[in-house]
Amino acid sequence: MEVIRNLVQSLVIIIILAMFLEMLLPAGQMRAYVKMVMGLLVIIAVIQAVGSMARWSFEEIPALVAGTGDGGGQLPEILEAGKRISARQQELGIEQYRQGLAQQVTALVKLNQGLPLLDVEVSVESDSGSPDFGQVKEIILTVSDNPKQTSPAPGGTEPVEEVSPVTVQIGSSETPEREEAVPPQAAAGIVDVLTNFYNIQPEQVIIIYR
Amino acid sequence: MDVVQIVAIGLMATVLIGVLKSQRPELAVLLSVAAGVILFLLVLGKIGSIVGVITDLSNRAGISMVYLGTIMKIIGIAYIAEFGAQICRDAGAGAVATKIEFAAKILIMVLAVPIVVAVLQSLLKLLGEAG
């Protein structure tokens, strides 16, 4: 940016100088000749300004890629550094994509089924050489045994499990039935939704009860 | 007001040249030269400030003073040649005026040769870098 600013500044000064010199020219037949030489001078000035920018580009970009700052990197080193940076960028991109998918799955589960979702983990194909690069490999849903326990809100506190009301019955030996953790219809439904949404097989959606 | 003085000197010189041309044509030419020199000397002191501004601008633009000096010389040659050619034409020597202009053109071209070479070198250098 600084180089472009300097280039524009130089061009503006050159134009002003050319206009100033043109006013000094004689009005007779000599004017055309002097004007031609002045045009050459302006061309030199513009070429020098552009040339300085071109030299900057050729010297500064390898230094930027190599991260050394001395600008003296050899071509193999520069290419190796480029590959490293590209791999790192790809890794970051996949991680961001994976987190986005996890958020999508969380929203789908909460909207459609209302499962007591604790955690979502999505794994994607990260091998760039694979034909399935970027596709969802597996979705692991961690749900709670207790339907009333849900995952904490971001930045919130850990949820507290509610204590069921205690009833004391004297003279009765029957024990109350335990509430079903997650209805199987709900689990099957969310698997169906996720397989349809992401075009994956039902085996790729794993539900873990905790 | 300098411009009033300049116009007054120019008008007086014109009237005197008109009067002398019929009586003493050789003196009319001399008077024309003298008027031109006086007018030039009147504005000579102000040329310095103009040259200073041009030098400052060229320094800011990164133009070498060698090129700027060449341009100044070329402008000077053009002015002097025009001045001489006009006097020759006024004296009725149109052929000599043409020769003066021709010589001035050659001198301007000779002075422009280093600039042409510099343009060529810069272009070749830029193309070489781009390739």
One-letter amino acid identity for B111?
L
Contact of A26 with B84, CB cutoff 8 Å = no
Which of 163-202 (A) contact B at CB < 8 A? none
Contact across the interface for A37 and B108, Cβ inside 8 Å:
yes
Any A CB within 8 A of B90 CB: no
- How high is the pLDDT of residue B8? 93
Smallest CA–CA separation between A136 and chain B, in Å? 45
* Confidence bin at A173 (pLDDT 50/70/90): low
pLDDT of A63 strictly over 70? no
Q: Chains A and B: how many Cβ contacts under 8 Å?
A: 105
Between B96 and A10, the higher pLDDT residue = B96
Contact of A187 with A115, CB cutoff 8 Å = yes
Contact across the interface for A20 and B108, Cβ inside 8 Å:
no
Q: Which of A29, A31, A37 sits opposite B112 (nearest CB)?
A: A37
pLDDT of A65 strictly over 50? no
- How high is the pLDDT of residue B9? 92
Instruction: Write out chain B residues lying below 8 Å of A43, CB-based.
Output: 119, 122
Contact across the interface for A40 and B75, Cβ inside 8 Å:
no
Instruction: Write out chain A residues lying below 8 Å of B78, CB-based.
Output: 25-26, 28, 30-31, 33-34
Contact across the interface for A50 and B126, Cβ inside 8 Å:
yes
Contact of A139 with A194, CB cutoff 8 Å = yes
Range in A112-116, A195-199, B103-107 the model is least confident about: A112-116
Instruction: Write out chain B residues lying below 8 Å of A30, CB-based.
Output: 77-79, 81-82, 101, 104-105, 108
Please give the structure tokens belonging to residue A146: 């207790």
Evaluate whether ipTM surpasses 0.85: no
Residue entry with tokens 């004297």? A170
Smallest CA–CA separation between B16 and chain A, in Å? 25
Beta strands in A166-204 (DSSP E): none
Side-by-side strand order, sheet with A117-124: A117-124, A136-143, A205-209
> What are the residue ranges spanned by the domains of chain A?
2-73, 94-153+182-209
Any A CB within 8 A of B111 CB: yes
pLDDT of A27 strictly over 70? yes
For residues A90 and A93, give the distance between their C-alpha atoms in angstroms, rounded to a whole number. Answer: 5
In terms of CATH architecture, what is A94-153+182-209?
2-Layer Sandwich (3.30)
* Confidence bin at A7 (pLDDT 50/70/90): confident
pLDDT tens-digit map of B19-71: 988 888 888 888 988 998 898 888 888 888 888 888 888 888 777 777 888 88
φ/ψ (deg, to 5) at A120: -130, 130
